[in-house]
Amino acid sequence: MSEQDTAFCHPGFFCQIAVSNQELYRLARRKEKEEREAYTDFLAGLACGHQTCLHRNVKPDILIIREKQLSEIQYVELFAGLWEKVEQYKQKRQEETALLIPHTYPLAARQTGSAWLHLTLPLFRKYRCHNILSGLQTGVSVHSAAEAAEAQKLGAAYVIAGHIFRTDCKKGVVPRGLDFLEQVCASVTIPVYAIGGVHENNMFQIQKRGAAGACRMSEYML
């Protein structure tokens, strides 16, 4: 595992995480359909710091590819294509890029050589029982302190907890709030990343409650 892969776990490092969403990407560009190549180019540009997001060109530390609408075959093709583009850039420019983490499908990690995978807690339990995660560092999405503690006990490298603030991605769903985030952070020793309605103006609030970083989707995709 490279130094880049482990840097975001270091104490005191506040990690910036982008989460992909092709539907939001299409919505922002008013396109009903988008060729996969164009979307892959967009994600590669984001990973390399070439997209204008958050009102400036900014490269996240991590880019989690979360595309719930894709089948496993479609997802693996997308992730493999993205991985190849980012690797080509790294070799050509000799520059660091965002760490790419596949979501849901271990096959995407196996086919590209990624050492990481992100899962829901139910999938994490299932894959561990079937010994599917050997050699992979796994992050897990959680919605309670008890789930966070379970994820750590099962071997998770980090957890993502949410949703913290109100967000259009979960309209009508009451956010769990900052006290919830603090409880999750107190329940584990692995990094906890906050998701849901996080932006520049409330970032300090999640830092004060112990979060090791922030996950954002809309601000990177729109």
Q: Which domains does the chain have, with CATH numbers?
A: 12-221 (3.20.20.70)
Residue 31: pLDDT band with limits 50, 70, 90: confident
Whether this prediction's pTM lies above 0.85 is answered by yes
pLDDT in tens, 67-102: 999 999 999 999 999 999 999 999 988 888 999 999
pLDDT in tens, 10-21: 667 899 999 999
Q: Higher-confidence residue: 156 or 32?
A: 156
Which DSSP string corresponds to the chain?
--HHHHHTTSTT--EEEEE--HHHHHHHHT-S---HHHHHHHHHHHHHT-SEETTEE---SEEEE--TTS-HHHHHHHHHHHHHHHHHHHHHH----PEEEEBS-HHHHHHHT-SEEEEEHHHHHHHHHTT--TT-EEEEEESSHHHHHHHHHTT-SEEEEE--S--GGGTTPPP-HHHHHHHHHHH-SS-EEEESS--TTTHHHHHHTT-SEEEESHHHH-
